Amino acid sequence: MTMKGPMLGRRQVAGLAAGALVAGSIRSVQAADSSTFVSGFALPMNLDPHQVYDVPMQSMMLNAYDNLYRYQNDPPQIVPWLAESHTVSDDGLLWEFKLRPNIKFHDGSPMTAEDVVYSFRRVLALGLAPAGAFLKILKPDNVTAPEPLVVRFKLETSYAPFFAAIPSISIVNPRLIEPNVKNGDWGKAWLASNGAGSGSYRIIPAGYRPLEYLDMEINEGHFLGWSHNPKPVKKIAYRPTKETSTRVLALLNGSLDCTDPNLPADQVEQINASKIAYVQKDVVMRTFVIRMNNTKPPFDNLNARLCFAHAFNYMGFIKDILGGYATRDPYPMPDNLWGIPKDVKGYDYDLKKAKEYYAKAVAEGAPMKRPLELHVQSENEQSVQGAQLFQADLAQIGINLKVVGNIWSNLTTAAAKPDTTPDMWVHWVSTYFVDPENWVGQMYDSQFHGTWKASSYYKNDQVDALLRKARAAVKQEERAPLYEEAIRKIMADSPDIWIYNSMQLQGLNKRVKGRRFCTVGQGAEIRWITLDG
Amino acid sequence: MIPVLSVRGLKVSIRTDEGNAEILDDIGLTLERGRILGVVGESGCGKSTLIRSIMGILPRAATVDAGEIWFEGENLLAFSEAELNDGVRSSRVGFIPQDPLLALNPVFKVGAQMLEIMRWHAPDNGLRGAARRRAHVERLVSLLKRMQVPDPETALERYPHQFSGGQRQRLLIAAALACAPGLVIADEPTTALDVTTQHQILLLLRELVAEFGISLLFVTHDFGVVAELCDDLCVIYAGQTVEAGAVQAILDAPSHPYTRALLACHPDRATTFLGIPGSVPSPLARPPGCLFAPRCIDAQALCLTGRPPQGQARSGAEVRCVKFA
Amino acid sequence: MLRFVVRRCLLVLPSLLGLLVVTFLLIRVVPSDPAVAMAGDAATPEQIERLRQQYGLNRPIWEQFVSYVGKVATLDLGESAFSRRPVAVDIAQRLPATLMLTFCALAISVFVGVPLGVIAGLSHNAWPDYLLRVFSVMGIAVAAFWFAIMLQLLFSMELGWLPLRGEISATIPRPPRITGFMVIDAMIAGRFDVVADALRHLVLPAVTLSLGGLATIVRFTRAGVLDTMQQDFVFYERAMGYRRWRLNWIYVLRNSVTATVTQIGLLFGGLIAGGVVVESIFDWPGIGSYTVQAILTGDRQVMLAVTLLVGVVYAAVNILTDLVHGVLDPRLMERG
C-alpha cells in the first residue's frame, strides 16, 4: 500500500466537529460516582504479566501486581517495593533481596520468598516477552529462597541491567495458579483471564473481556496501606477506546477520566479549551527512530547513511507535524538518561551536506539511485506524515523513496532477518527498564541480530566490546563512561536516524487529583489518585 | 321501472405526455333489471375504462369530463371514494375479472381472500364476531358447491395456484356473488379459458342471473359469447356507443357498418376472413367526423365533416350513423 | 420442510470446507509470524524458534490444515496466540454483543425501511417518493464513521440523551452472565435499570449500522411495491372493495417483499462484516473489533475462526431466507 497525500481522516472530522461544540456547551454526563475511575489506558493482549510485557501491560500490572523494586517519580528512580533492600556481590553475580514481612496476596495468603522464586521460574519457563532480559543470565535453579523472606539470584555472568529489569517481573500467587495448571502450562491459560497478585487493586475476572474492558476493585489490605491517600479510587473501570474521535468526545463529556497517553497533538487545543478536561504533557523515554538496514546497499556505506541522517527535517517534523510535542533527541537513546556523551552534537537537517555525502557515497559505488522503501505503521498518521516529509526532501537530492504502509506484526516479523528487513522502517523504542541496555545495549550489540530491536544489523567490534563490558560492570559510575564511548562510536557510524524523544500527551478529567508520573507505566498507577466531588 | 345501470354521455380522458387522450367519448348504455347486457368492442375501444369508470377506479391521470352513471337511481359519479368502497363495491356491485390466473392474490389462501371481501361487505344478518365469520364461511361453502367447485371446505384452505383455470373462474364468480350484489360486472371472464370450460361458465352465469336475481353487465370482444349469453347488446367503437339494442334483433339485422364488419369477422359467421381494414383512430388525434369513417366502406363526404347523430334502425336498435339519422 | 432444511445444511458443508482451504492459504500469504510478536522485542532467535515449535508453526501446511479441520469438527477452534484463551471462548463471549447489535440494526432497517419503501412505492413520482429516493441514495453514500460521529455529537454531547459508547455504563455492575446478551441477562437478573441502560447504549450503534441496510430495503421495497401495483389482482382487490390500508399493507406488501427478503439475507452477512467500523467507533465489545485486533497482530487461529463463523452465519441466514420466502410465497415451497 502506497501512501499519497494526507487525507481528511476520522480524527480530523471529529476534531472539527468537536471544536465547534466546545464553543457551545457540552452537557456533562459525568458519573456522579467519585469512587470509580474510568480509565482509557489500553489493555494488554491478556492479563498474565509473565506472558506479555509492553506499555499496556505495564499500566495494568502496576495496579494489579507488585514487584520487588519499582520505578517511581520523574525522572525515574528505582525504589524498594516488596523488597525492603538488596545486596549484590562484588563480582555482580550474587543478588539477594530481602522481602518486607506481612505482605499478603489478594486471597489473604502471606507472600514468602518461595512465591518470588516461583514467579521468576515461571517467567523463565514460559520464555515469553518479559523473560528476554533474564534468559541468558539466569537458570531457574539459581533462583532460591535461602530464608523465608530472602530471595537469592545467582547469575551466569555479571549483568548490570539485571537490577534495572527487576521491576518488570510481577510476583504472582502460586496457590491460586497451581490448581489451574493444565498440561504443565504453568497456569498460562488461566492467568491470561484472571488475577493472582497482591497489588493495590484486585482483578475482577467477571469484569474482563480481552482488549475491551477490565474491572478492578481496591485491595484494602495492600502492604503499603492507604494512609497516603484519604480518598482512594475504589474501583477502576478500564474502558479503552479504539477511535481517537470517540476518545476525545468521551473525555469531553466526562464519561472517561483519562485517555491513553498517546493523544495526537492536534487534539490538545480543543481539550484544553474545555471546562472539564485538560491535556497533561510529560516527557517520557520513548525514542522515535528510522531504522536503516545496514546490510543492504546503499546503507552499508557510511557516507550514504550520513547523507540520510542530514536529509531528515527534524525540527520541521517536530514543530509542524507533532505540534512541538516532542523533544529533538539526536542520540540513540533518550537524552534524559545517563550514559549520554553530551559533548557530541549529532546531526542536523542540512540538505547541502546531505548532497556532499551523496556525492561521496556515489563515488564509493553506493547505489544511491536504487528505489528505496520506508515502512511505516499505516494506522499512525503522524509517522506517515513524517515519512512523506522525508520522501519530499530526499526527492530534492535525487533519492527515490517509497513510503509503504504496513502493520506492526508484519514489520516485526520481517525485521527478524536481514534479507526481509525493509530498507528503512519507523520504530519506537519504549522503556521496558530504565537502563542504556534497553536502548543501545540491545539495539547495537551484534549478539542481538535476529531480534527486531537490533534490526539495523549494525556491527562494530569496538562497540560490541564496550557494550559487553558495560553490561558486565555493576556500578553506574563504571558503566556510564563505557556507554558514552560506545555511543560516540555508534553516532559516528550513523546506523539509524534518531529523531526525537517523545512527549506523551494524555487527556485527563479535571476531577483527577494526585496523579504521579513515572516514565515506566506512564502515570497509570491509580493508588495515588483521588477523584474530586 | 328504472334500469339497474344507465350510463349517459360518458366522456373520460387521460392526460399523457403527448396530450389529452379521449378514451371514452359519449358512451351510453342501459341495463334493465334481471337482464344480461353484453358490451362488445375491439381491444382498445375503451371497454376497461368503461368498467373502471363504473367501479370508480380510474387511473390518477384520468378525468371524467362529462356524463352520468346511474346505478339503482343514484349517480355513481357523485359518490366519494369512501362511499363507493363502503356502500357499492362488492355489496351492491360484484365484479368478475378477466384473467382468473392473475386476479387472485397468489400468496393468500383463497378462503382468506374471499372472507376479506365478505368481512367488509357481506350483510351481517345481525351476527357479530366469530358467529358472523362462521356464517360467511357457510355461505362461501354453499356458493362454491353451487359453482361445482369440488371439495368446497378444503378449497378455502388452498392457494390460487392449486386450482385449474376453470375452477379459479368459478371461485371468482362465487366471490362476486358472496355479498349478494344486485349488479355483477364481468370483464371478459371467459377469454382465458378453453372452449369447453368457456361454455360451462357461460351456462353457469346464465343460470345464476335468474337464481340470484342479479343483472349482469358482460364485457367482451366476442360476438359468439354475446349470442350465447346476452339479452341486450351495446357495441362500442373508439370510446363511443355505435349500436345498442336487443341481441337477437342486432344479430339478425346489424345496422352500423362497424357492427356489420365485426360480425363479418367472426369465425362462426364469416364466409371468408376479411378483417376490418385500417385501425382504431388514436385517442390523441380524433378525426372531426364519424370516428369509424376512415375505415367505413360506405363512408360519404358527410361522414368526414361532423359527428353523426343518434338514430334508430328498423331492428329497434339505437345506431350512431348518418344513414339512420 | 424438514427435509428441505436438512438438505440445504448438507449442501453448505462443502462450501464451508472450501472457504476454510482458501482462508488457510490466504493467511499464509500474510508475512507476519505470530512467534516473533509473542516473544517480545528483545527475544533471541532461539526463543522464537522454541515458540514456533511449541505452536506447530513449523509443520507442513497440509499437516496443519488437516489437524485444524479435525479440531474444528469437534468445535475446538484452537487458542488465540495472543490472548492465550480458547478462540471458541472469546467468540462465544463476543458473538452475543455482535448479534444483538446486528439484529437491532436489521430490525430498524426492516421496520423503518419497509414502511418507507411502501410509502415511496404508493406515492410513485410524488414528493414522498422523491424525498425517500434522495434519502436512500444518501444512506448508501454516507460513510458510517461520519454518520456515527454526527450522532455522537448530537445525542451524546449536545443533548446528552444517549451514551457515547460501550455496552453498558462503567459504573453499573454487570448482571451475571447467562446468555451473554446484556439486555436478556439483565432481565433474568431482574435488573431493569440495567436493561434500560443497556438499551440506551444500543441505540446509536444500531442506528448507525442500520443506515446502509435501511436505504437498501427502502429501494427494494419501493421497487417491489411498484411492481405489485401493476398486477391484476390489485385492481381486482380494489374493485371488490378491500379496505385501502389493508390492501396496501397486507395484500400488496406481502407480494412486494420477495426481493427485500433476499436483500435482508445478504445484508445480515454484510452487517456482521460492516460492524467492524461501528463496533470500533462505539467501542462495542463484539466480533468486529476482535477481528481487527487479530489481523493487526497476525493471530491466525482467530482469523480462521472468524472467517469460518461468518461463513456459517451467511449459510444459516441463506437457509433462513429461503424458508421465509417459502412462508411468504407458498408456490416456492412446492417447487422445493
Stretch (H or E) spanning A499: strand A496-509
* Contact residues, B window 156-175, toward C, CB-based 8 Å cutoff: 159, 161, 175
| Residues from chain B contacting residue C335 (CB–CB below 8 Å) | none
CA A431 centroid distance within chain: 4
| Whether residues C36 and C117 fall in one domain | no
Give a yes or no: residue C336 inside a domain: no
Q: Are residues C139 and C228 in the same domain?
A: yes
Q: Are residues C65 and C130 in the same domain?
A: no
> Range with the lowest mean pLDDT among A223-237, B228-242, C191-205, C272-286?
C272-286
**Residue B320 in 3-state DSSP?**
strand
| Gap from A398 CA to chain C (nearest CA, Å) | 31
Q: Burial letters for B261-291: b for 16+ Cβ neighbours within 10 Å, e otherwise? A: bbbbeeeeeeeeeeebeeebbebeeebebbb
- In this prediction, residue C42 carries a pLDDT of 63
**Beta-bridge mates of residue A79:** A70
Using CA atoms, how far apart are residues A151 and A116, in angstroms rounded to an integer?
7
The verdict on residue C138 lying in a domain is yes
β-strands A213-218, A201-209: how paired? antiparallel
C213 vs C219: CA distance, rounded Å = 10
Residues C215 and C251 in one domain: yes
Which of A271-280, B243-252, B316-325, C294-303 is least confident?
C294-303
Residue corresponding to grid cell 502515570? A523
Q: How far apart are CA A358 and CA A374, in angstroms?
A: 18
Domain region containing C68: 2-73
Chains that touch C (3 or more CB pairs under 8 A): A, B
Please give the average per-residue pLDDT across A291-312, as a whole number. 96
C254 plus C209 within the same structural domain: yes
Of C73, C105, C128, which residue is a domain's last? Answer: C73
| In a domain? residue C327 | no
Q: What pLDDT is attached to residue A14?
A: 52
**Contact (CB<8Å) C236/B90:** no
Residue B268: pLDDT band with limits 50, 70, 90: low
Please indicate whether, in this complex, the C-beta atoms of B106 and C244 are within 8 angstroms of each other: no
Q: Which residue has the higher pLDDT, B271 or C202?
A: C202
Query: From the CB of residue A460, how many other CB atoms can be counted at a distance below 10 Å?
Result: 18
Angle at B72 between CA B68 and CA B76, to 5 degrees: 35
Neighbours of C7 (CB within 10 A): 12
Task: Find chain C residues with C-beta within 8 A of A193's C-beta.
Answer: 83, 85
- Predicted ipTM of the assembly: 0.89
- pLDDT given at position B223: 86
For residue A32, pLDDT over 60 is answered with no
- Helical axes C258-281 vs C87-122, angle rounded to 10°: 130
Question: Does B52 score more than 60 pLDDT?
Answer: yes
Phi, psi of A206 (to 5 degrees): -65, -20
Nearest in space to B145 (alpha carbons), one of B156, B130, B134, B135 = B156
Tell whether C274 and C156 lie within a shared domain. Answer: yes
**Same domain, yes or no, for C69 and C111?**
no
Tell which C residues from 179 to 238 touch B, by Cβ distance under 8 Å. 231-233, 235-238
Q: Specify the CATH number for the domain of residue C234.
A: 1.10.3720.10
Percentages of chain A per state (helix, strand, coil), in multiples of 5: 35, 25, 45
Contacts of B153 (CB under 8 A, 6+ apart): B141
Identify whether C218 is part of a domain: yes
pLDDT band at A1 (very low <50, low <70, confident <90, very high): very low
Q: Are residues C26 and C158 in the same domain?
A: no
Grid cell at residue B8: 349517459
Strands in C193-322 per DSSP E: none
Residues of chain A with Cβ-Cβ distance to C83 below 8 Å are 45-46, 192-193, 210-211
Distance to chain A for C10, nearest Cα, Å? 35
A208: number of CA atoms within 13 Å, CB side? 23
CB contact under 8 A, C241 and B175: no
On whether both C35 and C175 belong to a single domain, the answer is no
Residue C78 counted as domain residue: no
Strand partners, B318: B244, B312
* pLDDT score of C30: 66
Chosen domain end from C73, C102, C136 = C73
Comparing CA positions, the residue from A303, A319, A323 lying closest to residue A311 is A303
Question: Starting at the edge strand that comes first in sequence, how are the strands of the sheet with A372-377 ordered?
Answer: A326-328, A496-509, A277-292, A424-429, A372-377, A401-406
Residue C335 lies in a domain: no
Distance from C-alpha of A409 to C-alpha of A413, rounded to nearest angstrom: 6
- When pLDDT is cut at 50, 70 and 90, the band that residue A84 belongs to is very high
Flag whether C58 is in a domain.
Answer: yes
C330 touches chain B (CB under 8 A): yes
Contact B95/C237, CB-based, under 8 Å? no
Cα(B291)–Cα(B258) distance, integer angstroms: 10
8 Å CB contact of B85 and C232: no
Amino acid A376: pLDDT: 93
CB contact under 8 A, B120 and C243: yes
Minimal Cβ distance to C237: which of B98, B105, B121: B105
When pLDDT is averaged across residues A125-134 and rounded to a whole number, the result is: 84
- The answer to whether the CB atoms of C239 and B57 lie below 8 A apart is yes
Most C CBs within 10 Å: which of B116, B118, B169, B184, as the mutation test of the C interface?
B116
Give me the pLDDT at residue B274, please: 56
Q: Does C49 touch chain B (CB under 8 A)?
A: no
Cα(A434)–Cα(A519) distance, integer angstroms: 9
Contacting subunits of B (3+ beta carbon pairs below 8 A)? C
Dump pLDDT digits (tens) for A162-202.
999 999 999 999 999 999 999 888 998 899 999 999 999 99
Report, as an integer, the average pLDDT of A400-412. 86
Which residue on chain B is closest to C326 by alpha carbon? B107
Task: Flag whether C touches A (3+ CB pairs, 8 A cutoff).
Answer: yes
DSSP secondary structure code for residue B5 in this structure: E
DSSP annotation of B303: G
For strands A69-72 and A77-80, give the pairing: antiparallel
B104 touches chain C (CB under 8 A): yes
What is the per-residue pLDDT for A197?
A: 95
pLDDT digits (tens, 9 = 90+) for B109-159: 999 999 999 999 988 778 888 899 999 999 999 999 999 999 998 999 999
- The backbone region for B119, taken as left when phi is positive above 0, alpha when psi lies in -120 to 50, beta otherwise, is alpha
**Chain C contacts of A17, Cβ < 8 Å?**
149-150, 153
| Domain identity same for C259 and C215 | yes
Around Cβ A480, how many Cβ atoms within 10 Å? 17
- Residue C62 burial (C-beta neighbours within 10 Å; 0-12, 13-18, 19+): exposed
CB contact under 8 A, B117 and C241: yes
Q: Which residue in chain B is spatially nearest to C329 when comparing CA positions?
A: B107
DSSP codes of every residue in A211-241: TTEEEEEE-TT-TT-STT-SSB-SEEEE---
Q: d(Cα C134, Cα C120) in Å, to the nearest integer? A: 11
C192 and C65, same structural domain? Answer: no
* End-to-end Cα spacing for chain B: 28
C85 within some domain: no
Report pLDDT digits (tens) over B165-206. 889 999 999 999 999 999 999 998 888 788 888 899 999 999
Question: Sign of torsion, CA A136 A62 A208 A223?
Answer: positive
**Which pLDDT belongs to residue B39?**
95
Split chain C (336 residues) into runs of 10 and give each run's mean pLDDT: 77 84 77 69 73 77 82 82 83 90 91 92 85 80 84 90 90 85 90 91 93 88 92 92 90 88 82 82 88 80 86 84 82 65
C165 DSSP 8-state letter: S
Give the mean pLDDT of chain B.
89
CA-CA distance, A325 to B277, in Å (whole number)?
A: 93
- At B267, the pLDDT band (50, 70, 90 cuts) reads low
Which pLDDT score is estimated for B144? Answer: 94
Contact A169, A117 (CB under 8 A): no
Domain count across chain C: 2
Ordered by where they begin, the domains of chain B are: 5-92+181-324 (3.40.50.300), 103-180 (no CATH)
Give the integer Cα–Cα distance in Å for A112 and A101: 8
User: Is the backbone of residue B316 left (phi > 0), alpha (psi -120 to 50) or beta?
Assistant: left
Nearest-neighbour CA in chain B from C248: distance (Å): 13
The predicted pLDDT at position C336 comes to 46
Q: Distance of alpha carbon A409 from its chain centroid, rounded? A: 16
- pLDDT attached to residue C41: 63
Name the CA dihedral angle for A123, A127, A131, A135, rounded to a multiple of 10 degrees.
110
Q: Report CA Rg, chain C.
A: 24
Give whole-number Cα distances, A28 to A25, A173, C155, C161, C327, in Å.
Answer: 9, 42, 12, 11, 50
My answer on whether C192 and C242 are in the same domain is: yes
Q: Please name the member of A48, A128, A448 whose beta carbon is closest to the beta carbon of C39.
A: A128
Put simply, whether C243 touches B (Cβ < 8 Å) is yes
Q: What is the per-residue pLDDT for A22?
A: 46
Compare all CA atoms of chain B with the CA of C244 and give the residue at the minimum distance: B85
Residue with cell 392457494: B159
Question: Is residue B50 predicted with pLDDT exceeding 80?
Answer: yes
DSSP assigned state of A258? B
Separation between Cα atoms, residue B186 and residue B188, nearest integer Å: 6
Instruction: Please indicate if any CB of chain C lies within 8 Å of the CB of B191.
Output: no
pTM for the structure as a whole: 0.81
- Final residue in a domain of this structure, among C10, C38, C73: C73
Where do we find the cell 506479555?
A52
* Chain B residues within an 8 Å CB radius of C238: 55, 57
